[in-house]
Chain A
């Protein structure tokens, strides 16, 4: 891991235009990912994690508008690229999603799709070479019997196998940054662990940086070098994994940590943070968490706390931590 940033996101602000208004899904989000780093984006449903990922991989839906911000990947501003440059960037950002079954066209064999991708990416035309390459990648994601998988239709494979196939195809286009959007949510626990292990192995093998999106703080702690906590479209806290677990600052992060079920205490009641997220069409003037925060004051209601580096390498956006040193 080096401290050379591969990705810098600055002031990213994204709206969704819907029939009855404008959803301010992401507001003023800034962070960096260093080369070889695994950064986890954590937050509950609707906090804008996927939207950030889609923006970076430039796959936002048509009704999304990037209001502001820059996304600098390997020194180039992705938002100001000509469309035709898209396919010519050598070092790509790739994203994998939650539902592997929806990611592959059900009418085509895995091998057919994979071959097309390799053919166009590596400019190969020899069918045998293409196949060889595909099998190589299928082996790299630790799939047993790659030959069989190559000749299977997506519906003939299990969710875990499919997710591996998708990782293999995605790796074959040689990405430098991999955005994994809850890639294990639809899988059972043992498979989850296997896929997470695989991602970490592949990271080393292929020199990847990873932005891992999850709502599960314990998964984030397990695989992330750094964790970014989002709430209601804004970043509320950011620190290295150990630091965040040991010393959470923001009341929301504290709440999230308390929600992690402690497996050694049997029959403990599952905790949750009371209250609901605000309407994203009308974000609050002050702190995003104010409605659910037990320590909220008048100031929190009126004034939005800025994300400051309260401790070394530990940023938080909360009025409780004002005596900022920097």
Chain B
């Protein structure tokens, strides 16, 4: 293994600090917003006493720092609070929505990586040609389009006008009921394969295409541009020239050797774009009614559901750390000079 146990331990300790920091900041921010969540908690026709009781229940009558420590205590015990909106534990809510988002993000990154690298390689091979110009224009535009706008347009055009693909939800409820589909891992594409349920698989696949494409736009543009730049740089390096001089065929030099040099920085940049993509996922899930953590977080935000919001933010922060660690690990696996 190219990485040590100390590295993993160090990363875990770092994770704890990141989580604490994020926890603190989000907590403070949610308390700074002038809203009265006890009204929500108590329900629409609550009496003054009921509202007062709700304030006590939610510790809103105590000073903010006491609230924070009470929350922290619960959080460490694995109790992330009860969502004020759904009235179920935030932890379960987050877990059940997380897989929906992960499935979407993984498919989006997969598309972005494969297609992006291929596009970048083509641009690098044909640099300064019209193809290169075309790719540059497309990727610049793609990287600057706001995700929510793109999501709306794509939904409108492909879902509504052309009607090629369904543009809402993860899977059709009728198909689920009729075929008796039961989620196991929460990744529907995987679950349906495990259960040999082709109908659900096809439907889930159809439904994930549009949101995943929209979500992959930014990382795709990023990896395409990154690949082009790095590859051109790699082509000018001596070790590539020597392979040419030693008479290796072009495709070996390109696909076996140069691509490997190119991929490390591309993966690193994709890892960094994860945060941006998660924000994109919030928008995309809202537009495509995707029952993921973004959808959940957006709904929670709109109803001042503090525990749920904090739970979502923490989860995203944890994933951000995990992604960065994974990027480092991939780097150390590809590059023998890197030992973690």
Contact = CB atoms under 8 A, between A and B. Distances in A.
Given A102-B237, A105-B239, A116-B252, A121 B246 contact: yes
Contact of A173 (B246, B334, B337): B246
Nearest to B336: A153
A107 B261 contact: yes
Contacts of B246: 117, 121, 169-170, 173
A116 B243 CA distance: 9
A117 B247 CA distance: 7
B164 interface: no
B247 A121 contact: yes
A92 B261 CA distance: 28
Chain B interface mostly: helix
Contacts of B242: 103-104, 166
Interface in A53-85: 57, 59
A292 B214 CA distance: 67
A122 to B, nearest CB: 11
A221 B322 CA distance: 61
B62 interface: no
Interface residues of A, number: 26
B260 to A, nearest CB: 5
Contact of B243 (A97, A105, A106): A105
Nearest to B246: A117
Interface string B212-244: 000000000000000000000000011111111
Contacts of A95: 245
Given A116-B248, A120-B247, A121-B247, A103 B335 contact: no
B249 interface: yes
A31 to B, nearest CB: 22
Given A97-B238, A102-B238, A102-B239, A107 B336 contact: yes
B65 interface: no
A99 interface: yes
Nearest to A95: B245
Interface in B304-337: 334-337
Contacts of A287: none
Contacts of B7: none
A57 B239 contact: no
Contacts of B334: 107
B3 interface: no
B75 interface: no
A155 interface: yes
Nearest to B258: A105
A45 B197 CA distance: 71
Interface string B253-264: 000110011000
Nearest to B238: A102
A27 to B, nearest CB: 25
Nearest to A58: B245
Nearest to A105: B239
A103 B248 contact: no
A109 to B, nearest CB: 8
B248 A59 contact: no
A108 B256 CA distance: 10
A173 B247 contact: yes
Interface in A81-140: 87, 92, 94-95, 97, 99, 102-108, 113, 116-117, 120-121
B163 to A, nearest CB: 48
A186 to B, nearest CB: 13
Contacts of B337: 106, 153, 155
Looking at B240, B245, B257, B335, the one whose CB has the most chain A CB atoms below 10 A away is B245
Nearest to B240: A105
B339 to A, nearest CB: 11
A60 to B, nearest CB: 11
Nearest to B252: A116
Contacts of B336: 106-107, 153, 155
Contacts of A87: 247
B15 to A, nearest CB: 29
A102 B247 CA distance: 18
A57 B245 CA distance: 8
A321 to B, nearest CB: 39
B261 to A, nearest CB: 6
A57 B244 CA distance: 11
Interface string A166-203: 10011001000000000000000000000000000000
Which 9 pairs, one residue from A and one from B, show the smallest C-beta to C-beta distance? A102-B238, A105-B239, A153-B336, A117-B246, A103-B242, A155-B337, A107-B260, A103-B238, A105-B257
Given A92-B247, A108-B260, 4 more contacts: A105-B239, A105-B240, A106-B336, A169-B246
Interface of A: 57, 59, 87, 92, 94-95, 97, 99, 102-108, 113, 116-117, 120-121, 153, 155, 166, 169-170, 173
Interface of B: 237-249, 252, 256-257, 260-261, 334-337
23 contacts: A87-B247, A97-B238, A102-B238, A103-B238, A104-B242, A105-B240, A105-B243, A105-B261, A106-B239, A106-B336, A107-B260, A107-B334, A108-B257, A113-B243, A116-B252, A117-B247, A120-B248, A120-B249, A153-B337, A155-B337, A166-B242, A169-B246, A173-B246
